[in-house]
Amino acid sequence: MGEPIRIARGIHVPAAALEWHAVRSSGPGGQNVNKVASKVELRVDLTAVSGLDGPARSRLGALAASRLDAEGRLLVTSQRTRDQLRNLEDARAKVQKLVERALKAPRPRRITQPSPGAVERRLRLKRARAGIKRQRGNTPDDEA
């Protein structure tokens, strides 16, 4: 594999945690698509990512949960280009962006209340809608 993926100062994915292989791409491409394996599948052992604190590691696990393989490794694919090495770099960039997203803590939600004017508008619209629906029902005139 070669080089580790560097994310930030002190945070990187070691080269030993990366494993990739090329497979045939899907989609159109003529006879060439049957000969050339340009799609890249990159598997990353997330437990080997160094420099992450506990909350960032749990956020990374949550972000990658839908892309884990049977062994619990992150599976990232790229078939954006027809060049195998460019697809490998693209897959490595995807891993880097995912780890960078896990580093950022989400802003805490500030609990708010609707303004009195907003409550009044909502109730007024609700009464108007109820009136419209009430008019659709059977009236004493209809039964005659």
Q: Model pTM?
A: 0.72
Is residue 65 within 8 Å of 58, Cβ to Cβ? Answer: no
* pLDDT tens, residue by residue, 66-113: 999 999 899 999 999 888 999 999 999 999 999 999 999 999 999 999
Q: Find all residues with CB under 8 Å of 5, minimum gap 6, and list them.
A: 12, 13, 18, 92, 95, 96, 99
Q: Find all residues with CB under 8 Å of 69, minimum gap 6, and list them.
A: 43, 75
Q: How many domains does the chain have?
A: 1
**Residue 47 lies in domain:** 5-103
* pLDDT tens, residue by residue, 23-57: 888 877 677 777 788 899 999 999 989 888 989 99
Residue 144 counted as domain residue:
no
Phi, then psi, of 79 in degrees rounded to 5? -135, 30
Domain holding 31: CATH number? 3.30.160.20
pLDDT band at 62 (very low <50, low <70, confident <90, very high): very high
